[in-house]
Amino acid sequence: MSLNTAEIIKSSLQESVEAKLKLLADTAPIEKTAQLLIDCLRRGGTVFLIGNGGSAADAQHIAAELVGRFEKDNTLPALALTTDPSCMTALANDFGYGTVFSRQVKALMRPGDLLVAISTSGNSESINLAAQAAQEKGCKVIGLTGKDGGKLKDLCTEAVVVPSQRTCRIQESHITVGHIWCELIEKAI
């Protein structure tokens, strides 16, 4: 490997560590959002998760940890609304992509449920419309975002904003936060 490759590796790892250190400096948002998740699940609610692209994969990952297990053998109600291509493509075709999550939220969520809305920029129309729809249904919304939080942070009950400008570093931190949530949920339930 060339020295440049080693420098890129070290720089990338350092950026990832720095993003997490910024989260470590103020853990209150992670704690508050974890408590919202715990309260929802204790009341018998369902956690719904949404995201686009890599954030869709994160939504599915976190849902799988809750439904399957993180480390303990818990079976908790969670659903990523990113996993039904027939529904998503029909909604995108018939109503526009911006509605692919908000229409599912309107159809599936009930008061007491919780939406985890994941967007690295906080400015994704499909995510923000879903957050609004969840609030209108009387559901709490957790934002998992980055940069300055975008519009999403103001549409949420609580938000974890990763203070980074790079999408890859934000996503790395998002899955770390998701794992922390799962650990706290398993200890509480």
The mean per-residue pLDDT over the stretch 98-116 comes to 98
Looking at residue 66, its amino acid is L
Mean model confidence pLDDT for the chain: 96
Question: Which region holds residue 139: left if phi is over 0, alpha if psi is between -120 and 50, else beta?
Answer: beta
How many CB atoms are located within 10 Å of the residue 10 CB?
10
Quote the pLDDT of residue 170: 97
Band (pLDDT 50/70/90 cuts) for residue 37 is very high
Provide the token pair at 25.
Answer: 């400096």
Q: Give yes or no for residue 127 having a pLDDT over 70.
A: yes
Beta strands in the chain (DSSP E): 47-50, 78-80, 114-119, 140-146, 158-162
Q: Note the pLDDT tens digit of each residue in 49-102.
A: 999 999 999 999 999 999 998 888 889 999 999 999 999 999 999 999 999 999
Go through the domains of the chain in sequence order and give each one's CATH number: 3-188 (3.40.50.10490)
Lowest-confidence segment of 1-15, 108-122, 160-174 by average pLDDT = 1-15
Outline where 43-124 has alpha helix (H): 54-67, 85-95, 102-108
Q: What is the predicted pLDDT for the residue at 182?
A: 96
Tokens describing residue 7: 């420098």
